[in-house]
Structure 1
Amino acid sequence: MKILLPVDGSPHSTRAARYLVKHWPVDASVTLLNVDLPLRDSISGRLDAASIARFHADNGRYALRSARRVLTHAGHLHDELLLVGDPGSEISRVAQRGRYDLVIMGSHGRGSFKSLFLGSVVMKVLSQSRIPVMVVR
């Protein structure tokens, strides 16, 4: 089974990683994914490309850290992918193009009312993905 585990460094992502190691065998193919939001033009216009790349790489490594620890401790080998863009769209795109069998995501559980105003990565992935999505709360 090929599983995509998008993470953002939150406790909710760590909970999704723990759920994965508890319910899927060690031989499952797992990819940890972090999608960092692009910098605003007012900020990126003042930085060189190398500084921007370093900023996103540092954010991505930090976001993967906790889930990586959970997977490694349980003996799950995994790949890691760091991207920059709209998280919901990028997660859906990677899941489709990578031919994953399942996407497992942690939910912040803000509820539908707040999601209406704040947006929700999970809701966007659910609406765009053709791949099954499991939401861990």
Structure 2
Amino acid sequence: MKILLAVDGSAYTKKMLAYLATHDDLFSANNDYTVLTVQLPLPPRARAAVGKEIVDSYYADEAEKVMAPVSKFLTRHGIIAKSVLKVGPAGETIAKMADAGKFDLLVMGSHGHGALGNLVMGSVATQVLAHSKVPLLLVR
């Protein structure tokens, strides 16, 4: 099975990984895993002021903060996963990656870092549900 794990470093990412670890059918070396983290784009004026190299370095550093513990967890359980960093609106970007990559399953936490903003704008999980045709497992 080809599985996309959408992670943001929140407590719900940890809950999602703990859930996977207890379900052998979802969590085995027989599956093909890709771990995705999405960074929100910096404002255009900020990007222009600091330059492409610094912006790219910032995105890479932020992604590493999220990905390092996830990679360590997966490696400890004998899982080798591809890591992908995307920049854009989280819900739409996750949905596009899931559809374009022809994944069999998308797994993510039900909530992430922007809980207060989600009250007004709608959650990332809701956006993924609205935009993706890939089956979604939300871990709460």
Tell me the TM-score normalized by structure 1: 0.90
Q: Which of these residues, 64, 83, 87, is aligned with residue 84 of structure 1?
A: 87
Q: CA deviation at 1:109?
A: 7.9
Tell me how far apart the structure 2 counterparts of residues 12 and 118 of structure 1 sit (CA, whole Å): 19
Aligned pairs for 1:112-131 within 5 A: 115-131=118-134
Give yes or no for contact 1:5–1:103 (8 Å, CA) kept in 2.
yes
- 2:42 matched to which residue of 1? 39
Q: Against the structure 1 CA distance between its residues 76 and 64, is the aligned structure 2 distance closer, same or farther, given a 3 Å change threshold?
A: same
1:50 aligns with 2:53: yes
Which aligned runs of 4 or more in structure 1 are off by greater than 3 angstroms?
A: 113-116
Q: Against the structure 1 CA distance between its residues 35 and 109, is the aligned structure 2 distance closer, same or farther, given a 3 Å change threshold?
A: closer
Gaps of at least 5 residues in structure 2 are none
Count of matched residue pairs: 135
Give yes or no for contact 1:7–1:63 (8 Å, CA) kept in 2.
yes
Tell me the TM-score normalized by structure 2: 0.88
1:134 aligns with 2:131: no
Gaps of at least 5 residues in structure 1 are none
1:15 aligns with 2:18: no
1:106 aligns with 2:106: no
Give yes or no for contact 2:95–2:132 (8 Å, CA) kept in 1.
yes
